[in-house]
Each structure stands twice: as structure tokens, then as C-alpha cells.
Structure 1
Amino acid sequence: MASAAHGAPSEPLTPTAYIAEHLQNLNNIGGAQTSIIDFSVINLDTLFWTLLMGLIAVGFLLVAARRATSGVPGRFQALVEMLVEMVDTQSKSIVHGDRSYIAPLALFVFCWIILLNTLDLVPVDWVVGVNHFLENFGLHVPHHKIVPTTDLNATLGMSFAVLLLVFFYSFKAKGVGGFAHELLSAPFGAKWYLAPFNLVLNIIEYVAKGVSLGMRLFGNMYAGELIFLLIALLGSIWTFSLDLSVLGLVGHVIAGSAWAIFHILVILLQAFIFMMLTLVYIGQAHSHH
């Protein structure tokens, strides 16, 4: 969520520069990424917030497990029990096999992505303000993007991790020979002359699963962040400076609050979709063609 538009101390930002400023990651090279695929670039802000939210999600679930009682549950325990029951019900209906690790994995993924997406409600200008505050102590942070799910590297990393789990459970459920036979015989049949076509289609299917899973989460969260920035600009559309005019109140405060309330639904929905697709893909790994 964005607060009022701000300007740099030396010269005012243009609307385009304002948006670009808030959408840049803090990385280890000190500049923009020069190629589409560059494994030498590490987005430090994405890495930090992803790990932190993951630890918070684990801590949340551990506290819930330790505080669970057999008596009348409190509000916290009731909330966690609802989440566990919902995820367990979905996993039972989708995955037909051993769910000892799959259901807890889906629960963690759901809680983790909710926390990652919720960072989108933090006003982006607060982040810039903290950066300026740190400069008073000699710490220079030129850029910082707080929402990891608006970074394609993070969402694709999570989606391809799910793809690796799909391969793992495919090998576990079918064996190496069974999985190889499925790659060469589905969907057109086990005829030897159809094997190359089956293999190509299966490779395309697996790549499409990984890419679409990550792109879906990234696209929705990135668009939401961009809308927050555009709403922030409405309050200073004429002069691009902080003002308390009626236009600023209506264009920024009211519109920003309305979008933030609606965005809560997007946050929960995207986490649920990612969790469900994770279960669907792993469930498909247990099925035999």
C-alpha cells in the first residue's frame, strides 16, 4: 500500500521515476539486472523478507501446535484448527496416497504466501522513509522492495520447487521405470513411433506448470502493487508534491483504503490458488495414466 508521493531531497521525481524507484530491488551488483537470466544477481530484499516470513510461518505453526489443548479451543486455536481442517480436507480429495508430509507442506505454503502477500499492505513510502532514516547512521540503502511475491525470481523459485516435489513423488509412486514409461507413452499411447511426441508434450507440460504457477502469483501481486503506486500519484496529480487538497483526500486516502480492503481478498485468494495447484500437481504425480 502506498502513502503520499514523495520527492527526492535534491530534485523532484517524475511520476514514471517515482514508480520505477519503488519497483527496484536491492541486489548485490548495485544496479539493474542486464539480462533476463543472470544467476549472479541476488535480490537481497527478496531473500531477506522471504526467509523472515518463512520463519514467522514456521513459528506460528509451532506455537499453535504447542498451545493446542483437548478442551474448548480459544480463538487462536480455533483459527489454526480451521486452517488445518481446510487444508487436510483438500489434500484428502486431491492426493490419493501418503499425505504425511504433503498436507503439512500445503499448510505451510498457504501460511507462508499469505504472509508474503500481506507485506503488500505496508505503505511503500514508509520503506523509502526508513531508507532515508538509515542514511543518518551511515547505512545507504538505495532501493528496497518489500514484497517478495512482486519479484518474479521469488515466485518462479517457489513454483519450480513445487515442480521438483512433483518429480520426487512421481519417482516415489511409480519408480524410475514407471515414470520413464509414462513420459514416453502418455498421452498418445505406448507405440514406439509415438514416444518422441509424447516426450516432447510431457516436457512442455511440466515447464508450463512451473512457469504458469509462478507467473500467476507474480502477475496478480505485481499488478496490485502497481495500482497502489498509481493511487498514490492521484493525490498530487497536478504538482506531484504532497498536498492536503480534496483531490488528495479522495484520490489517495479513500481510493487507497478501498483498494487495500479489496486487496486483502486478492492476498488470500492467491495464497489459496498456489496451495491448491501445489496439491493438484502433487496429486497428479501419484496418479497413473
Structure 2
Amino acid sequence: MAAGNEVSPAYYIQHHLQNLTFGKHPENGWSLAHSAEEAREMGFWAIHLDTMGWSIAMGLLFIWLFRKAGKVATTGVPGTLQNIVEMVFEFIENTTRATFHGNNSKIAPLALTLFVWILFMNTLKILPVDYFPELFKRLGVDYMKIVPTTDPNATLGMAFGVFCLIIYYSIKIKGVGGFAKELSFTPFNHWALIPFNLLLEIVALLVKPFSLAMRLFGNMFAGEVIFILIALLPFWAIWLLDVPWAIFHILIIVLQAFIFTVLSVVYLSAAHEHH
């Protein structure tokens, strides 16, 4: 992947962790970044095209699969796809019933979307780390990270969406005054402690999206780094370590999708509660 005949381990790791970035460079104007330095110089408003593309692709795959399952659904002997979709539906329904105590018909569909979408994005990690970067290099694209959840921009974006829903339902269910009163008189129900309560509650409120985002990102990014480090080993060692780590990581992939979904439902349940 580097210019020349040899690829240093440092360059290999940096290359595989670099996003395909499009933004406004101070000297080159709007363009693709051809190095990590150029990507950093583009600043905050640069877009990670690979993160956007693969996350949208996994969302479309989710819609297509579940739409197809709905079309071929039968009351007779179900097919494999229908069985899988029904298992996921039942799992999310039971999880939502156990964790959400409000009255909102939109929470279960939201939980289903979050779980399957994140699961699909995480599952891309199982693909060998060299295949897609090498394929896109042959097509003239320098960088290609295919796992959106290893990009904090993607996980923060999803978490911020959940945070907006938390604020929306907190105000809708409790009213502006009720929500403000909840922040002011929790955990200590005394007017003299309102400043202290506000400090605690606002910090706790703001921590929710960051904890959601960074937990998912941290686990996925760490797993990706380990896959990359294994790929630097001799051929025989790659198969010896890569397969067991991939099998173990399947559990992490599912678990992180589940944790993000459950915590989102729990936070939304708290937004529907009257204190």
C-alpha cells in the first residue's frame, strides 16, 4: 500500500485506520485527502465518505432484507429468512417490553432499527482487513475503512440522534416546566440545592450520548486494531490467531449492538417517566 516495494508496520496500521476523507483543504480547495495530514488540515467539516457510504449501504441492506421477509412471509412452514427475522422481532419485542415502561409505539421499531443496523455495520469487521483497501486501491481510491462503527463520527451521530429523542420526549411527556423541575429537584428535593442538582443532572444528561458513542466506538476500534496487528504477522500465525479472534469477536459484535440498543431504550424510558 505504500510507495515503493516495502510497507512499514507503522504505515500499514496508519493506512488501514485512515478514512477516505473529502473536505476543503487550505491549499487544494475541495478535494480528497491523500494522507492523514491532509485529512487533519481539512478541519471539522470534512466528510468521511467511506463511513457514510458503508453505513447507508448497511441501512439499505436492512430495509431490503426485512421488506423481502415481509413479502414472502407465510402462516405455513416459514423459510430461513422469515425464521431469522421473526427471531429478531421477538427478541427486540421482549427486550423492549422488559426495559421500556412508557406508552409509545415508536420505541420498538426504533430499537429494532438500531440493533439490526449496528449489527450489520459491526459484522463488516469479520471481512479480512486487506481485501477492500486493496480492491479500492486498484480502483484508484487511496483509503477505505469499511466498518462505520470504528469511526467516532458514526457512533456519535447515532448517539446524538438518541439524545435528541430523549430531550424531545422529556419535554413532550413532562412539559418544559416539568422537565426543568425534574432537573432542578433531583436527586435532592430542596430549593436550596437547585444549583447542585442542576449541575449533577445536566452532566448526567450530557454524558449519556457520549457514553453510548464511545462504548461502541472503543470496542469496535480496539477489535479492528487487533485484526490489523494480526495481519502483520507471518502467514502461518495469521491463520492461527485470526480465526479464533474472529470467532470470539462475533460475540462482541452482537453484544455491542445489543448494549447500544438496550441503553437507548432505557434512556428513552426514563424520558417518559414522571418523577
TM-score (norm 2): 0.90
Question: Partner residue of 1:159?
Answer: 159
Question: Partner residue of 1:91?
Answer: 96
Amino acid at match of 1:22: H
- Separation in 2 of the partners of 1:18 and 1:50? 24
- What are the within-5 Å matches in structure 2 for residues 120-135 of structure 1? 120-135=125-140
Larger RCO of the pair (alpha carbons < 8 Å, separation 6+): 1
Question: How big is the shift at 1:272?
Answer: 0.8
1:23 aligns with 2:17: yes
* Equivalent position to 2:51, from 30, 46, 49: 46
Verify the 8 A CA contact 1:234 1:252 in the aligned structure 2.
yes
Q: Report how many aligned residue pairs link the two structures.
A: 262
Question: How big is the shift at 1:208?
Answer: 1.1
Verify the 8 A CA contact 2:122 2:147 in the aligned structure 1.
yes
* Equivalent position to 1:32, from 27, 39, 42: 39
- Separation in 2 of the partners of 1:85 and 1:200? 40
Question: Partner residue of 2:249?
Answer: 263
Question: Partner residue of 2:7?
Answer: 13
Question: How big is the shift at 1:39?
Answer: 3.3
- Deviation track 1:119-170 (CA, whole Å, cap 9, x = no partner) reads 11122211222123213xxxxx121111110001111111111111111121
CA root-mean-square deviation: 1.6
SS of the residue aligned with 1:28? Answer: strand
- Separation in 2 of the partners of 1:169 and 1:66? 33
Question: Partner residue of 1:3?
Answer: none
Question: How big is the shift at 1:99?
Answer: 3.3
- Separation in 2 of the partners of 1:187 and 1:60? 45
1:228 aligns with 2:227: yes
Verify the 8 A CA contact 2:100 2:266 in the aligned structure 1.
yes
Amino acid at match of 1:150: T
Question: Partner residue of 2:213?
Answer: 214
- Deviation track 1:16-54 (CA, whole Å, cap 9, x = no partner) reads 11101100011113123259xx53111111111111111
- What are the within-5 Å matches in structure 2 for residues 73-152 of structure 1? 73-135=78-140, 141-152=141-152
SS of the residue aligned with 1:10? Answer: coil
Amino acid at match of 2:78: P
- Deviation track 1:56-98 (CA, whole Å, cap 9, x = no partner) reads 1122222222222223322221211111111111111221222
- Deviation track 1:208-235 (CA, whole Å, cap 9, x = no partner) reads 1111110000011001100001111111
Question: Partner residue of 1:245?
Answer: none
- Separation in 2 of the partners of 1:228 and 1:200? 41
Structure 2: runs of 5 or more not aligned: 24-32
Verify the 8 A CA contact 1:49 1:147 in the aligned structure 2.
yes
Name the % identity.
Answer: 50
Verify the 8 A CA contact 2:19 2:144 in the aligned structure 1.
yes
Amino acid at match of 2:168: F
Structure 1 moving runs of 4+ over 6 Å = none
SS of the residue aligned with 1:253? Answer: helix
TM-score (norm 1): 0.86
Verify the 8 A CA contact 2:137 2:143 in the aligned structure 1.
no
Verify the 8 A CA contact 2:183 2:197 in the aligned structure 1.
yes
